[in-house]
Amino acid sequence: MDFDLSEEHKMFQQAVRSFCEKEIAPLVDEAEATEIFPPGLFPKMGELGYICARYSAKYGAAELGKLSECILLEEVARISGGIASAVMVHSGLGTSMIADHGSEELKQKYLSPAIRGLKISAFGLTEANAGSDAANMQTKAVRSGDHYIINGTKIFITNGPYADFVCVAAYTDRSKGPGKGVSVFVVEKGTPGFTVSRKMEKLGNRSGGTAELVFDNCRVPASNLVGEEGKGFRYVMETLDGGRISHAGRSLGVAQAAYEASLKYASERVQFGQPIGKFQAIGFKLSRMATQLEAARWLTYYAAWMHDQKRRCLKEASMAKLFASEVVVDITSEAMEIHGGYGYMMDSPVQRYYRDARLYTITEGTSEIQHIVIGREIGAP
């Protein structure tokens, strides 16, 4: 067993960290204030191979694997959880079904420019009455000659306000149930009947845009069907497995940022004649934060390694997502306690870490859903 990152992974980590600190950090304050993802960042990251990094070199990607993707997302989230959310969806949920099941035409038209950061992707699954119960989606697509007519509404869609295309899940035959009745379509920005009905304001992750999308008799070419009709729900579930590992990587980044800020503050803040880190109450908090972070990181890296080995990792992906998302909530909460009133002020990044983290036990499968998945995998009664 080897618990060290390879030299290649270490070099990649250092390069990405340098990029994030120099190129992303200066953009965060404006992106948070305006709730607009920094324009131009996707092409810049695409040029360096930092988005969609695990896809085939045939389409311009770096073929770096899931572990590298987690390392990248951790470094981006260490600077901004919201920006990491946009990158994560674009590199995963918004493109992976095209990469895994799309036609060559779809890969050339959408995946290749997405890898280069020239087109931005989103993923349309969640609806008002279909969150954890995704199979209850009401969006439908009806075949009409060489087109499909899509009707429905999707909410909480990351990258929705500015996406160039969206992978949309819809029922093509409800009588067959989700297993054989759901299909996935690529819907391009500007398609008649497809509108961004509203930009949604959020408590945290503000630098990654979120929107409600409406499809009103939206006419999509049949060639924009991803894979086979009726197999879309399986494609979505496959995508969510990998997405949960990426999600854990993002949680690690925000947790790391909160921990680093707390360790620094505890060394500099003096009360009663000594740095507050010397007080056992604060020292114990820091020790626990460090332990939680290390445990979450190796659980995440193990799941990513299994994914790269093409081994079944449904249980490990859910464990990583569950543990890392709950750890980041704990660590950012403790960071607020350590920083006291200063952490509560809006000019402190600590309050941003705290707000961003609160989403992570909710999105991409709540903690409760992860418990259900893990329970099934271990054979719990």
pLDDT for position 379: 97
pLDDT for position 135:
93
Q: How far apart are CA 65 and CA 46, in angstroms?
A: 16
Per-residue pLDDT tens digits for 345-379: 999 999 999 999 999 999 989 999 999 999 999 99
Which are the contacts of 147, defined by CB distance < 8 A and separation ≥ 6? 219, 220, 221, 222
Catalytic residues: 364
Is pLDDT at 2 greater than 90 in this prediction? Answer: no
Mean pLDDT of 91-111: 97
pTM assigned to the model: 0.96
Q: What is the pLDDT of residue 39?
A: 85
Using 50, 70 and 90 to split pLDDT, how confident is the model at 241?
Answer: confident
Task: Convert the pLDDT of each residue in 258-298 to its tens digit.
Answer: 999 999 999 999 999 999 999 999 999 999 999 999 999 99
pLDDT band at residue 190, thresholds of 50, 70 and 90?
very high
Average pLDDT, stretch 15-36?
Answer: 96
Q: Which residues of 244-254 are buried (b: 16+ CB within 10 A; e: fewer)?
A: bbbbbbbbbbb
- On the question of pLDDT at 1 being above 80, the answer is no
* pLDDT value of position 3: 84
* Whole-number Å distance between alpha carbons of 352 and 345: 10
Per-residue model confidence (pLDDT) at position 381: 86
Say if residue 215's pLDDT is above 80.
yes
d(CA 79, CA 38): 13
Q: What is the pLDDT of residue 9?
A: 95
Which of 125, 29, 149 minimizes the C-alpha distance to 363? 125
What average pLDDT score do residues 35-51 get?
94
pLDDT above 70: percentage of residues in the chain: 100
As a whole number of angstroms, the distance between CA 337 and CA 285 comes to 10
Residue 312 has a pLDDT of 94
Please name each of the domains of the chain with its CATH number.
7-115 (1.10.540.10), 121-230 (2.40.110.10), 234-378 (1.20.140.10)
Q: For the chain, what percent of residues have pLDDT higher than 90?
A: 97
Distance CA 319, CA 93 (A): 19
User: 242 with 70: CB under 8 angstroms?
Assistant: no
